[in-house]
A and B are shown apart, each in its own frame.
Chain A
């Protein structure tokens, strides 16, 4: 059915690239995020040492030629642990937000598309989920299920579903009124097909913008849970866990907490720049600013 392809907004990728270009801050954010992703993916090749290798003689040693950022309380290389920690944080963040996007987005589209009782039910449940402070909710979920990577993903995704449902619902209701949806119905397309092929591409922008902002929140939540002691179990290197371990000894070796903190800050600032830039660029009110 070639007619359907003309219904899509043309060149999503091209538009995205143009928007990024227009916003220098957003592209800086995108670039740093991409670099961090590459570091996370290629950690085994980039890290100068095994993150769990203990050099007992260099416990809490300062920076040296061999260990650029020094060693932690077990004599492990801080730099290598930060590089491997990027893996954990980004993997959990991206997976959790991906899951929240899919589940929340689907619920929002269903609510917006069918309206009526289903809409009221879904949105009432979302309102309930929004009533929980997300860190405390995540904390209880991980405490109850146990601190594994999968459970952290579930906990963080759980706290992020409602915002995605909300953001997907409003544009779905607007798109539903448009002529091409009516045309699709007249051609006898099923609801499922209309939602997947015609509604979804039209609301994807907003979901992606929210996704980049929530990725920052997800990474912050993961780091916070690790700091509280509910992160992926040791000896796995996580940024929050490194700060937790270094906290007791931060007077003797401030690097133990400062270097992983900087890593977290860099990714947080980058994601916020990216998300803000995308939001400004896709917000029609601000487009001509």
Chain B
């Protein structure tokens, strides 16, 4: 197991370095001088020169590249172009909000998606199955900002069940929990759709396996066969779904935080975007990519734990 883990870690490192390289060149192909972008067209030549020097833009490209790589690998993600504060400081401040939102959404996805998928598979090709499948198709079709707006209109405005609030109320844990409900439902919607689909199809695959037939033949009650034998073996693809769609989840969290006016990484991005704060944007993209690479690594390791065939490859 340890060797398997080390091997996977060794594969993740070049991916991570490549990701950093892509981000570096992506920001450098920007037309126009970042120094002019920050200071505006009317800035004096002297000020621009000074800033270029400060940002290291007067160095040759390979030098800038090495600087960029070494500082990131040392955990220095640069300073915001606007506030001149270290980007990471701001990230740490809002990170808990995004983490609680994402975890809540995954919980929503599992709690609703798993039973729905099992029921759809159990009643395959009946109207129950078709309605569940249509529901999950609808879930996949909703852009996150539209579902967010509709939820806001329905449950905060038409029916004032949940608060429309800003950051100020987050000190009170009860209010904080209330403020989490709608955003978590919204972000969870797409997870429900994915998990329902995957659960349904993997249940259908597992149901036709020999060991399920054996269990049935032994006289194990139908409900036990479904919940204990089939579901347990259908769980592996669900781990994959969460890993696979983490990128979608991240994109949707940006939109969700924007519509519900929640603090978080997504809101940070939108603010950085509006103030053309490229260093923050760049750092956020790096952080997100790292999260995804790590999540993939964890998913693979989890496979190794669940399935001995994988780790002996």
Contact = CB atoms under 8 A, between A and B. Distances in A.
- A pairs with B: yes
A131 B146 contact: no
Contact of A136 (B29, B153, B274, B284): B284
A143 B281 contact: yes
B306 interface: no
B27 interface: yes
A131 B281 CA distance: 16
Contacts of A227: 143, 145, 255
Interface in B241-277: 246-248, 250-252, 254-255, 258-259, 269-270, 273-274, 276
Nearest to A135: B251
A229 interface: yes
Measured as residues with beta carbon below 8 angstroms from the partner, the interface class of chain B is 35 or more
B15 A272 contact: no
B258 A132 contact: no
Which residue of B247, B278, B281 has the most chain A CB atoms within 10 A of its CB atom? B247
Given A143-B276, A216-B141, A131 B157 contact: no
Interface in A222-276: 223-224, 227-230, 240, 243, 247, 250-251, 254, 257, 261, 264-265, 268-269, 272-273, 276
A224 B144 contact: yes
Given A268-B141, A272-B140, A125 B18 contact: yes
Contact of A128 (B19, B30, B259): B19
A17 interface: no
Nearest to B266: A136
Interface in B16-68: 18-19, 22, 26-27, 29-31
A132 B18 contact: no
Interface in A184-221: 216, 220
Interface string A270-286: 00110010000000000
Interface in A105-163: 124-125, 127-137, 139-141, 143-146
Contact of A139 (B14, B246, B269): B269
B142 interface: yes
A172 to B, nearest CB: 23
A135 B288 CA distance: 11
Contact of A265 (B141, B247, B274): B141
Given A135-B254, A228-B270, A144 B144 contact: no
A124 B18 CA distance: 9
A132 B141 contact: no
A143 B146 contact: no
A273 B153 contact: no
B235 interface: no
A132 B274 contact: no
A257 B149 contact: yes
A143 B282 CA distance: 11
B269 A131 contact: no
Nearest to B244: A130
Interface in B85-110: none
B112 interface: no
A224 B31 contact: no
Nearest to B287: A136
A236 B177 CA distance: 40
Given A127-B15, A143-B276, A264-B143, 19 more contacts: A124-B15, A131-B292, A133-B247, A133-B250, A134-B247, A134-B248, A135-B252, A135-B254, A136-B269, A139-B269, A141-B26, A223-B145, A224-B251, A228-B254, A228-B270, A230-B273, A243-B149, A268-B140, A269-B141
Interface of B: 14-15, 18-19, 22, 26-27, 29-31, 137-138, 140-146, 149-150, 153, 157, 246-248, 250-252, 254-255, 258-259, 269-270, 273-274, 276, 278, 281-282, 284-285, 288-289, 292-293, 296
Q: Which 10 A-B pairs have the closest CB atoms?
A: A135-B251, A268-B141, A133-B250, A133-B247, A128-B18, A144-B30, A261-B146, A131-B289, A220-B143, A269-B141
11 contacts: A133-B292, A135-B252, A139-B281, A141-B26, A145-B30, A227-B143, A228-B273, A264-B143, A268-B141, A269-B137, A269-B138
